[in-house]
Structure 1
Amino acid sequence: MDVTDLRIALFSGNYNYVRDGANQALNRLVGYLLRQGASVRVYSPVVKEPAFPPTGDLVGVPAIAIPGRAEYRAPVMIPPSIKRDIKRFAPNIFHVSSPEILGHRAVSLARRWDKPVIASVHTRFETYFRYYGLAFLEPLALAAMRRFYQRCDAIFAPSESMAQLLREQRMSYDVGIWTRGIDQEIFRPDRRDLAWRRGLGIADDEVAIGFVGRLVMEKGLDVYSDAIDQLVRRGVKHRVLIVGEGPAGDWFRNRLPQAVFAGFQAGPDLGRAVASMDMLFNPSVTETFGNVTLEAMASGLPVVAAKATGSDSLVAHGVSGRLVRPGAIVGFADALQHYCENGDARAAAGEAGRKAADRYGWDAVNQELVDGYLRIIRQRQAGSRAPRQSPLPYTD
């Protein structure tokens, strides 16, 4: 069996209606699979005006808007018509990308039809509750996720640090790696554009501390703002450059009125924006990989990030940036001040990050998951099955 024999049914809670790192990775994966001769059919909620065109065949599933986050859709079921569509497609493996209703129903369907199923892990959903005053629900979320992932034949994490966390949480017997790649034509140091910076009011000799991503509280916007406040109180000269949009945009603008907000950027424009920063500050603990961290490194920037899943596998502390205990405001401010005041340190860390990012090519990355598909199918054909129960104990 090889890649041309693969028939993959992919289930995603958000394939293309809101742009984020997870669904862009899935679209790149589908594009690679199709180029290699595999067959893929994608099942996900759809909207009239998606953020970008889908790669491959996309079949819409019923969904409702999520209260308080209306830009997102919550799938509610796999109706009989969709089940018939899946049956006609005749997949030989299921791939689920998030532990919500659609994912659960797809796993149940795969097990009913005796098909292997794998899950890719894209974000730390259990941590989201911390940002909305609901931290007490985190143990319940972990238990629900454990039940979901243990019903799959294997799960794939985007970084070794995330894979290790999943093992410690007893999420699966079989944890593989499907990391993320970088478009090295877009993210590179020579995309830096001082004229573009000047147009935003940032002088050539000002040190721009960047943020890239959706403006949502779970990205650590409160920690980001508090650390910048520390720099202001210390009298450290800097500018803040924010790239992205999102529902917390007004909150962030009010919190950092001195910052420059460049709005949403994509493709070469995003590459220009990132390279035109002087460092990236990423305090988030919700990422499983940290696409923006890798993009900044490829652009020659030092990275100050939370020592958490994702960045912990990318940033070499003291070499390509600084890793700081999550939520440690003073520690983040110290790291930012170091790079604000030391141009040689910025240049050395940026060059180290650029070299480290060279090994992340999308085709090689996606081939790792193709190899994982084939391995899981072979194991199933040899008689290996995912456990029917959830026998893995978990203790804090």
Structure 2
Amino acid sequence: MTPLHSDQILVEEYPASSPSLRLSVVTETWPPEINGVSLTLSRLVRGLCARNHQVQLIRPRQTRVDQAVCLTGFEEMLMRGMPIPRYPELKLGLPGKRALVLAWTRRRPDLVHIATEGPLGWSALQAARHLRLPVTSDFRTNFHAYSHHYGVGWLRKPIVAYLRKFHNLTQLTMVPTQALRAELREIGFENVQVVARGVDTQLFNPERRSNALRASWGASGRSLVLLVVGRLAAEKNLDTALRAFETMSTRHADVKLVFVGDGPLRESLRQRCPQAVFAGMRPQDELATFYASADVVLFPSVTETFGNVTVEALASGLPVLAFNTAAAADWVQHDGNGWLVAPNDEAAFLSAAAHLAAQPARIAQAGSRARAQVAQLDWQQIARQVEGLFLRVAANVTR
């Protein structure tokens, strides 16, 4: 089979979906679970269905009363699962190769797309190879990078080996940034294609700014509101966000810190910074209002494969202070719509934060330029690109 390569983030538009594909999409997370994988994958699936493709979604059963959805052009197949250690709100799909072989023998898909690399994903890969079905995959989570933050850094090499084997058995692996593609190719991943993540620019919009919400945080028009969005966990490098808040508070008379998200570090963060607002998990429409009502996003994580927070903030007219990695490296223009510092250089991050606090006009100017940079990342365009890749993979396999 011919490898597929492209150095473009957004490639040429593909023609309307003809012929329609029968797709099996395998994932271990799906709404109402709230995380970057489930939310972005659901948007992509909706886009593919809108382009007249038939999607079979295969995922773990989330609760005992969970029922499979069956609609025209979309149906679910629910599998066994168990809670993920340290992430009890998420499920790990259990092995199910036999069930998948039976289902795909009865109704053969044109292509299998695997979004997660857990036991269910591995079973899907083995079942697809057994039936000689074309397979593509996503690389969505830096599990090998997370190992350091959970005291099992010694597992990094075997995790990388497993992920490399997994993805190299597929015809194509999709990643969201050029930097991640380069990193994976350096360690032996093959046939890696950049596909940017989309953002709902109608939902994430500066017009959702709410003075009432700001007031609930104790913020006035003169306040400087810092927003941190994401899981409150070790891999998110939240110590740097707290230090940035402390630094900025010495340079500006009224700085507020708002966390949106939940996780194992919530209580310790609350104890260390009792003046911060901890809003917990929020549905997407509320999250959009939080973005638009803040003044700048602090994004200190260096373990992201993408970082949806970056593009959601920019679409909301909110500048971003981040390390020069993942989505920030592709979509933040330094001193244009945000600010970038070298990865892991906390001193530089804190210095940049101090300068911004002393010059809040720079933040307002960057906010006015933020949205234009991500206007092209609509989900219709992303679905069109993925559709084209699926068609090319299916065509190469059947030759």
SS in 1 for 2:339: strand
8 A Cα contact 2:113 2:136, kept in partner: yes
Q: 2:288 aligns with which of 260, 265, 271?
A: 271
Letter in 1 for 2:45: V
1:190 alignment counterpart? 207
**Are residues 1:23 and 2:38 paired?**
yes
Instruction: Write the deviation string for residues 193-216 of structure 1: whole angstroms up to 9, x where unpaired.
Output: 112110221222110111112222
CA distance in structure 1 between the aligned counterparts of 2:25 and 2:318, rounded to whole angstroms = 35
What residue is the counterpart of 2:25 in the other structure? 10
Distance 1:347 1:271 in 2: 18
CA distance in 2, matches of 1:326, 1:238: 25
Pairing of 1:150-229 with structure 2 (within 5 A): 150-172=168-190, 174-229=191-246
The aligned counterpart of 1:70 is 88
**Alignment partner of 1:341 out of 339, 346, 358:** 358
Instruction: Output the TM-score relative to the length of structure 1.
Output: 0.90
State the distance in 2 between where 1:314 and 1:236 align: 31
Q: Does the residue aligned with 2:76 lie in a helix, a strand or coil?
A: strand
Count of aligned pairs between the two proteins? 381
Contact in 2 for aligned 1:182/1:362 (Cα 8 Å)? yes
Give the drift of 1:8. Answer: 0.9
Counterpart residue number, 1:86: 104
Counterpart CA distance in 2 for 1:256 and 1:326 is 25
**C-alpha separation in 2, matches of 1:304 and 1:335:** 8
**Which of 142, 155, 176 does residue 160 from structure 2 map onto?**
142
The whole-number CA distance in structure 2 between the counterparts of 1:191 and 1:376 is: 41
8 Å contact from structure 2 (residues 226, 256) kept in 1: yes
Question: What stretches of structure 2 of length at least 5 have no aligned partner?
Answer: 1-15
- State the one-letter code of the partner of 1:370: E
Moved more, 347-356 or 364-373: 347-356
Instruction: Return the alpha-carbon distance in structure 2 between the equivalents of residues 265 and 149 of structure 1.
Output: 33
Q: 1:50 to 1:329 in 2, by over 3 A?
A: farther
CA contact (8 A) 1:198 1:204 kept: no
Q: Would you say the 8 A contact 1:163–1:175 is kept in 2?
A: yes
- SS of structure 2 residue aligned to 1:263: coil
SS in 1 for 2:218: coil
Shift of 1:256: 1.9
Report how far residue 232 of structure 1 moved: 4.6
Q: 1:1-396 residue pairs with structure 2 within 5 A? A: 2-16=17-31, 18-48=33-63, 56-78=74-96, 80-172=98-190, 174-232=191-249, 237-382=254-399
Q: Report % sequence identity.
A: 29
Residue identity matched to 1:294: V
Deviations along 1:80-121, one digit per CA (max 9) or x if unpaired, are 334322332311111011222111121111111111100012
Structure 2 CA distance for aligned equivalents of residues 253 and 49 of structure 1: 33
Q: Distance in 1 between matches of 2:84 and 2:318?
A: 36
Corresponding residue of 1:389:
none
The alignment's C-alpha RMSD in Å is 2.3
Distance in structure 2 (CA, Å) of the matches to 1:242 and 1:50: 32
- What's the TM-score once normalised by structure 2's chain length? 0.89
Q: Structure 2 CA distance, aligned partners of 1:36 and 1:311?
A: 30
Pair 1:80–1:111, CA change in 2 (3 A): closer
Gaps of 5+ in 1: 383-396
CA displacement at 1:183 relative to structure 2 = 1.2
